[in-house]
Amino acid sequence: MALPASRRSVMTLYSRATCPYCHRVRMVLAEKRVSVDIINIDGASLPEDLLDLNPYNTLPTLTDRDLVLYNSQIIMEYLEDRYPHPPLMPVDPVSKARTRLFLYRIDHDWYSMLNDIAGGDEKAAGKARNALRDSLTVVAPTFKQKPFFMSDEISLADCSLAPLLWRLPSYGIELPVQAKPLMQYAERMFAREAFRASLSSAEREIR
């Protein structure tokens, strides 16, 4: 991740160059300007040291000294607590809870379709593409109200949504004109320095 190291860290992130879950962790790291050693995993096999660290053998996996974390949302919230500035979560409990609900909905309603889209069953993939396109189109008008996802400030929800939107062309999804507010939001996110820094070389080739 080509970003000036403004903070010293002994963190290591095991990441896959094309994985949206890994990408959203990389975006949080970039927004917070945390220096991190990124180990890119290619292919299906994982290195032995990662197999020893993570019993689920999943990516992303983050190590911070003696701490080992897996599950991208847990990692993102840990980074928020570990490096509170700049903040990516609201301070007050009500707004923080709402942001966590947004994160849940992004995962449950949208990320959950990616396995079918990337799977080998074309019928299931087509159904998932249509469902994802239609769901994003339905929520698109809400992006007229705020510069970020239901907020005046960038949050972990934006760091989760932007990697998904970046990948729409590779998923074979073209949003209709009714989704223009969402597409404008996406372009704002893609223009952020941290988003550009979070992209792997493989991800840059998507657009």
Q: Indicate if the pLDDT at residue 101 is higher than 80.
A: yes
DSSP secondary structure letters along 77-143: HHHHHHS-SS-SS-SSHHHHHHHHHHHHHIIIIIGGGHHHHHSS-HHHHHHHHHHHHHHHHHHGGGG
Reference 181, options 170, 165, 203, 196; nearest CA is 165
- Angle in degrees, CA 88, 190, 160, rounded to 5: 40
pLDDT tens readout for residues 141-176: 999 999 999 999 999 999 999 999 999 999 999 999
How sure is the predictor about 8, in pLDDT bands with cuts at 50, 70 and 90?
Answer: very low
The token pair that represents 132 in the structure block:
């994802």
Pairing of strands 11-15, 37-40: parallel
Each residue's pLDDT tens digit, 127-145: 999 999 999 999 999 999 9
Q: Is 183 exposed, middle or buried (0-12, 13-18, 19+ CB in 10 A)?
A: middle
pLDDT at 93 over 90: yes
Q: Which amino acid is at 199?
A: L
Asked if the model's pLDDT at residue 9 lies above 90, the reply is: no
Catalytic residue, from 1, 3, 13, 19: name it: 19
For residues 96 and 100, give the distance between their C-alpha atoms in angstroms, rounded to a whole number: 6
Residues 40-67 have pLDDT tens digits of 998 777 888 888 899 999 999 999 999 9
Q: Looking at residue 83, what DSSP letter applies?
A: S
Q: Indicate the pTM of the whole model.
A: 0.92
CA dist 6 → 30, 34, 36, 127, 153 (Å): 11, 7, 11, 45, 22
* Phi, psi of 200, rounded to the nearest 5 degrees: -80, 165
19 is catalytic: yes
The full set of domains in the chain, from first to last, is 11-87+196-204 (3.40.30.10), 93-192 (1.20.1050.10)
